[in-house]
Amino acid sequence: MTLLDVDDLRVRYDARDGALHSVNGVSFDIDDGINYALSGESASGKSTTAKAILGLLPDHAEIESGEVEFEGRDLLALTPSERQDLLWEEIAFIPQTAIDALDPVMSVGAQIRQAIQTHREISERNARRRARELFETVGLDPGRVGDYPHQFSDGMRQRVVIAMALALDPKLVIADEPTTGLDVIVQDKIIDNILQIQEETDSSLLLITHDLSVIAETCDEMSVLYGGTVMEQGRVDNLLLNPSNPYTMGLKNAFPALDDDPDGLVSVPGKPPRLDEKPTGCVFEPRCPFATEECATTTPELRELPYRDQHVACHNADRAVRMRREAEAAAT
């Protein structure tokens, strides 16, 4: 069963210095029980895609086109109160900066209790107990539920937000870079937390991260974004073993990626595009070593490769794959 279906999503920001076409036709779907990753370099449109799905875009953003369905419901047509209910009960969001999700003047335990009590008929006593349980699940000392957000370290705050997000057994958890900026040991623990809870609650996951090693560890399927466009899509094991878009190949060169500098992962020379105008041709063309004339003029559609459910948006994928395989064979 398809849980989340995103179809041809296009988002533009109208910033002071002009328009920015940040998401340019993103499509993917997540089935029940699947862990899905959205990957790609900084500014590729990952957070914007998540915010569009959740209805959390700022006022100066415009969803130009596209459909977003959650269990068949049109998410883009929800009223604010319908969205409020859905957000807590069915889709949980762990934002890129955990501190944004917390109220600085309320104890974290009170915030978790409030989230539960707004949506469930539950006594104060049971809500308190649930908050302590959730603390334990994410590896925090339940004795600290009365503490305030500023009393926790970044990693602990991230866990508080995870505990809060999971309080209502959501069907889908959307986590935007939940481990970026944390040290590697804390990162591992948080990923373990998310996976453990997910197993317990049977929810699906949309994990946004540029870290391919985290994806390899946690996710079943993925899309690779660049310039607000899906460059490649498929099963994680196939895609990482057999990247078919030159952009994915470039990302993968930095793999395995146990590096604390997030930007150190990306080995593709050059910079992401500034999309003041809608891209014509392939967005990666200016940086692509395989680019031909066609790439500058014709946008490649996402097409199915003749193997293993993999989809790629590249005119020259066949040649790129052949050359990659030759290089790999020569290296062994």
Q: Is 49 in the site for Mg ion (CB under 5 A)?
A: no
The full DSSP string for 266-293 is ---SS-----SS---S-TTGGG-TT--H
114 vs 180, which CB is nearer to ligand ATP? 180
CA distance 233 to 247: 12
* Contact pattern for ligand ATP over residues 73 through 112, marking x by CB under 6 A: -----------------------x----------------
Question: For ligand ATP, how many residues bind (rule: CB under 6 A)?
Answer: 15
Q: Minimal distance in Å, beta carbon 314 to ligand ATP? A: 20
Q: Is 48 in the site for ligand ATP (CB under 6 A)?
A: yes
CA distance 63 to 311: 25
Binding residue for ligand ATP, selected from 47, 187, 310, 316, defined by CB under 6 A: 47
Q: Minimal distance in Å, beta carbon 20 to ligand ATP? A: 5
DSSP assignment letter at 106: S
Query: Coil, helix or strand for 124?
Result: helix
Q: Is 181 in the site for ligand ATP (CB under 6 A)?
A: no
CA distance 76 to 54: 9
Q: Minimal distance in Å, beta carbon 18 to Mg ion? A: 21
DSSP assignment letter at 44: S
Q: Is 46 in the site for ligand ATP (CB under 6 A)?
A: yes
Q: Minimal distance in Å, beta carbon 310 to Mg ion? A: 25
Q: Is 215 in the site for ligand ATP (CB under 6 A)?
A: no
48 vs 223, which CB is nearer to ligand ATP? 48
43 vs 231, which CB is nearer to ligand ATP? 43
13 vs 255, which CB is nearer to ligand ATP? 13
Q: Is 151 in the site for ligand ATP (CB under 6 A)?
A: no
Long-range pairs, 260-266, Cβ under 8 A, ≥24: 260/183, 260/184, 262/42, 262/180, 262/181, 262/210, 262/211, 263/42, 265/210, 265/211, 265/212, 266/41, 266/210
What residues numbered 1-40 form the site for ligand ATP, per CB under 6 A?
13, 15, 20, 22, 40
Residue at token pair 């590729």: 44
Span from 46-54, 86-94, 231-239, 292-300 in contact with ligand ATP (CB under 6 A) = 46-54
Q: Is 179 in the site for Mg ion (CB under 5 A)?
A: no
What residues are paired with 73 via a beta bridge? 70
Residue at token pair 């005119």: 315
Q: Minimal distance in Å, beta carbon 96 to Mg ion? A: 5
Q: Is 44 in the site for Mg ion (CB under 5 A)?
A: no
Q: Is 47 in the site for Mg ion (CB under 5 A)?
A: yes
CA distance 263 to 272: 12
Neighbours of 171 (CB within 10 A): 19
224 contacts 217 by C-beta, under 8 angstroms: no
CA distance 14 to 288: 29
- For the chain, the maximum distance between any two Cα atoms, rounded to a whole number of angstroms, is 67
Residues that bind Mg ion (CB under 5 A): 46-47
Residues that bind ligand ATP (CB under 6 A): 13, 15, 20, 22, 40, 42-48, 58, 96, 210
